[in-house]
């Protein structure tokens, strides 16, 4: 799950990026409001963590501009501004969540997963397609009640496909949602991971739409 972190404090930003990566997120980190608005305008992010006191452009101005242009990426405001009027203004301008620093890293991860889940119309954290169950918080997958051992990248790919069940995603869209900046992606990486997932899961769980991409249907027939 790829997210954008907008935080100008070097020590805090480095800690948040490292911690969120340990929780399974792919993190791109920017340090000013102009860069945050630019990346969220053009990037395919599952969610964003936005500080308000950013240089060049304040976080609230970034938020207001994005929402005015109908960019609906879930945004969690993480800030030291704890006054009630600040919280009200942030939420009224379109923030999906508002958290005051300092925050527990695991709580931040849970809040981000919740935002992403709600943005895809999912009511529960666990995702299911027939006999296949994926637990994002525990990063576990079971098939017919039996655990399935997946690599980190295989899990992330399956997570993206299940979040977007019923929607066809191209290879480029999958790459954008899986890989953060600076990561060199082999041209056939997605195809290789799909092959491994099909070998470990029911062969027909992931379907290929020729010339377009890959999909998982919302309801799989139980065998």
Q: Which helix (H) or strand (E) holds 75?
A: strand 75-79
Domain with 185, as residue range(s), is 127-215
Q: Strand order of the sheet with strand 47-50? A: 26-30, 2-6, 47-50, 75-79, 97-100
> In this structure, are residues 142 and 200 in contact, taking their beta carbons and an 8 Å threshold?
no
Alpha-carbon distance of 125 to 134, in angstroms, equals 9
Q: pLDDT tens digits, the chain, 223 residues: what are they? A: 899 999 999 999 999 999 999 998 999 999 999 999 999 998 789 999 999 999 999 999 999 999 999 999 999 999 998 899 999 999 999 999 999 999 999 999 999 999 998 888 877 778 888 889 999 989 999 999 999 999 999 999 999 999 888 899 999 899 888 877 656 667 788 999 999 999 999 768 899 999 899 999 765 444 3
- The answer to whether position 220 is within a domain reads no
CATH code for the domain of 68: 3.40.50.2300
Do 132 and 191 share a domain, yes or no? yes
Strands 26-30 and 127-129, sheet pairing: unpaired
Q: Which of 71, 92, 119 is the last residue of a domain?
A: 119
Do 26 and 103 share a domain, yes or no? yes
CATH code for the domain of 168: 1.10.10.10
């Amino acid at each position: 799950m790829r997210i954008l972190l907008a935080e100008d404090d070097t020590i805090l930003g480095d800690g948040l990026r490292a911690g969120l990566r340990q929780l399974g997120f792919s993190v791109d980190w920017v340090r000013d409001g102009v860069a945050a608005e630019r990346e969220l305008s053009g990037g395919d992010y599952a969610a964003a963590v936005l500080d308000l006191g950013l240089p060049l452009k304040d976080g609230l101005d970034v938020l207001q501009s994005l929402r005015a242009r109908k960019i609906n990426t879930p945004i969690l405001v993480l800030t030291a501004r704890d006054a009630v009027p600040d919280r009200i203004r942030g939420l009224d301008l379109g923030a999906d969540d508002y958290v005051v620093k300092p925050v527990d890293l695991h709580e931040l991860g849970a809040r981000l997963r919740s935002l992403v889940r709600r943005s895809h119309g999912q009511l529960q954290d666990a995702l299911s397609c027939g006999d296949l169950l994926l637990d994002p918080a525990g990063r576990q997958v079971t098939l017919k009640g039996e655990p399935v051992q997946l690599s980190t990248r295989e899990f992330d790919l399956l997570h993206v496909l299940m979040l977007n069940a019923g929607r066809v995603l191209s290879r480029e869209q999958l790459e954008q949602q899986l890989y953060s900046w600076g990561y060199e992606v082999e041209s056939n990486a997605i195809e290789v991971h799909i092959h491994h997932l099909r070998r470990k899961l029911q062969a027909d769980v992931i379907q290929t739409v020729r010339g377009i991409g890959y999909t998982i249907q919302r309801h799989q027939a139980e065998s």
